[in-house]
């Protein structure tokens, strides 16, 4: 059996490629040529996960992934039942369309550390062709450790996304007594996705980022005066998320650029290992030779290193962007707004961080 010779943060359990939505920006559209048939759980993958989980101190995050993972809910239940006594935690990234009361109960009963539901704000119907919060709001707000995961596009600008979350904050806090979580990613492959998703009004982005930064500043003032609201916590959480991303990248340029295949393992039900959980390029299996496997796993790092040396090394937003996803090729970056969009969003945050360091000696 392959032994990974360092701690593993996350194992993406790649359940299958089938999906019940057709989101306009999905990276897998362009990266997956043929949808693989349904696979069955090979018991050796359970032994592989158990071995690596129980030989390290930090629990491994077992993250269920697709396609749409809830299509494979019976497999999820089976794997959770086999691993729940081991040194692991469970999480999932889902479009939420199949969520029902039994699934909510399963997540909560098994202490899922994060249930990320993909939702792009009030215009989700234009990007995902389905609005999960319009259809499933009451069910979703009863999920412990719910995370709303949005993609920034021309239909979902940064401050608009934050504003779209606000109506759910009070109800979620009333039920759980803690804040709803959220994450956001800028749209990735702007060459492959629909053109209406990448027609950006940069004046509007600039306006929204200025509002966002000012709201972050006001929230920290309110925190100091003990006049803090749930909305303030939302902005403080956003700034903290950015700061944590900067902090986590301080040493990354001497180690791994992209964690995929290294401290993030991408594993299917039959024991095959992949370069990334989005492209399904096989680089080995759980019986591979370690040196052969790790050499292939680091190919994404070689791409990122080339990006770093050619265009990213002196970029003002490197600490947040981290060279971007290596799956987005250099020629696509050059002929699209891939970098321009990230600079428009990240530079105001970087400036705020630098201001905080100048005033307080720290960005926290």
pLDDT confidence of residue 269:
95
DSSP H helical ranges for the chain: 28-31, 43-54, 73-83, 101-109, 124-127, 132-141, 158-176, 202-224, 230-248, 290-297, 299-307, 318-321, 330-335, 338-360
108: how many CB neighbours lie within 10 A of its CB? 14
Question: For residues 298 and 68, what is the distance between their CA atoms, to the nearest angstrom?
Answer: 27
Q: Say which residue the tokens 């234009």 belong to.
A: 126
pLDDT confidence of residue 178:
95
Query: What count of Cα atoms within 13 Å lies in the side-chain half-sphere of residue 298?
Result: 10
Q: Crossing angle of helices 338-360/202-224, nearest 10°?
A: 30
What is the token pair recorded at 359? 């005033």
Q: What is the pLDDT of residues 136-175, one digit of tens each?
A: 999 999 999 999 999 999 999 999 999 999 999 999 999 9
For residue 287, give the DSSP letter. T
- Which residues does 205 contact at the CB level (< 8 Å), separation at least 6? 157, 158, 341, 344, 345
Q: Compute mean pLDDT per 10 residues along the chain, 364 residues long, and list them.
A: 95 93 76 57 95 97 96 96 97 97 98 98 94 97 98 95 94 96 88 84 96 95 91 94 78 62 95 92 96 93 84 89 87 90 96 88 66
Whether the CB-CB separation of 95 and 65 falls below 8 Å is answered with no
pLDDT confidence of residue 341:
95
Q: Say which residue the tokens 């194992």 belong to.
A: 11
Residue among 39, 48, 11 nearest 270 (CA): 39
- Which residues does 124 contact at the CB level (< 8 Å), separation at least 6? 130, 131, 132, 133, 134, 156
Residue 39 has phi, psi (to 5 degrees) of: -115, 160
DSSP letter string over 329-362? -HHHHHHSSHHHHHHHHHHHHHHHHHHHHHHHSS
Cα distances (angstroms) measured from residue 12 to each of 30, 74, 98, 259, 288: 20, 17, 20, 12, 18
For residue 23, give the DSSP letter. -
Average pLDDT, the chain: 90
Residue among 296, 327, 307 nearest 29 (CA): 327
Residue 216 has phi, psi (to 5 degrees) of: -60, -45
Q: Say which residue the tokens 């940069």 belong to.
A: 202
Bridge-partner residues for 147, per DSSP? 116, 181
What is the token pair recorded at 28? 């897998």
- Which residues does 178 contact at the CB level (< 8 Å), separation at least 6? none
């Amino acid at each position: 059996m392959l032994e990974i010779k360092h701690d593993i943060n996350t194992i993406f359990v790649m359940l299958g490629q089938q999906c019940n939505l057709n989101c306009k920006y999905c990276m897998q559209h362009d990266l997956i040529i043929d949808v693989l048939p349904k696979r069955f759980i090979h018991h050796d993958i359970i032994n592989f996960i158990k071995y690596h989980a129980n030989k390290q101190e930090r629990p491994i995050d077992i993250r269920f992934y697709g396609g749409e993972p809830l299509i494979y809910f019976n497999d999820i239940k089976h794997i959770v039942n086999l691993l729940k006594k081991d040194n692991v935690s469970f999480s999932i990234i889902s479009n939420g369309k199949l969520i029902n009361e039994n699934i909510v109960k399963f997540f909560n009963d098994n202490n899922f550390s994060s249930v990320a539901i993909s939702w792009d704000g009030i215009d989700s119907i234009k990007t995902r062709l389905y609005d999960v919060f319009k259809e499933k709001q009451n069910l979703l707000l009863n999920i412990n450790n719910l995370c709303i995961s949005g993609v920034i596009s021309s239909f979902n600008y940064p401050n608009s996304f934050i504003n779209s979350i606000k109506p759910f904050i009070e109800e979620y806090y009333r039920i759980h007594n803690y804040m709803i979580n959220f994450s956001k990613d800028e749209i990735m492959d702007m060459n492959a996705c629909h053109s209406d998703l990448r027609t950006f009004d940069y004046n509007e982005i600039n306006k929204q980022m200025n509002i966002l930064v000012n709201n972050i500043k006001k929230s920290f003032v309110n925190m100091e005066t003990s006049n803090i609201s749930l909305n303030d916590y939302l902005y403080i959480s956003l700034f903290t998320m950015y700061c944590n991303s900067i902090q986590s990248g301080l040493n990354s340029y001497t180690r791994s650029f992209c964690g995929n295949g290294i401290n993030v393992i991408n594993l299917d039900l039959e024991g095959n290992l992949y370069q990334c959980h989005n492209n399904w390029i096989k680089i080995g299996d759980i019986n591979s030779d370690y040196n052969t496997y790790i050499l292939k796993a680091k190919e994404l790092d070689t791409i990122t290193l080339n990006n770093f040396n050619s265009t990213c090394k002196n970029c003002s937003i490197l600490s947040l962007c981290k060279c971007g996803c290596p799956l987005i090729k250099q020629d696509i970056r050059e002929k699209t707004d891939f970098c321009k969009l990230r600079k428009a969003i990240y530079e105001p945050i970087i400036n705020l961080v630098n201001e905080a360091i100048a005033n307080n000696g720290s960005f926290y």
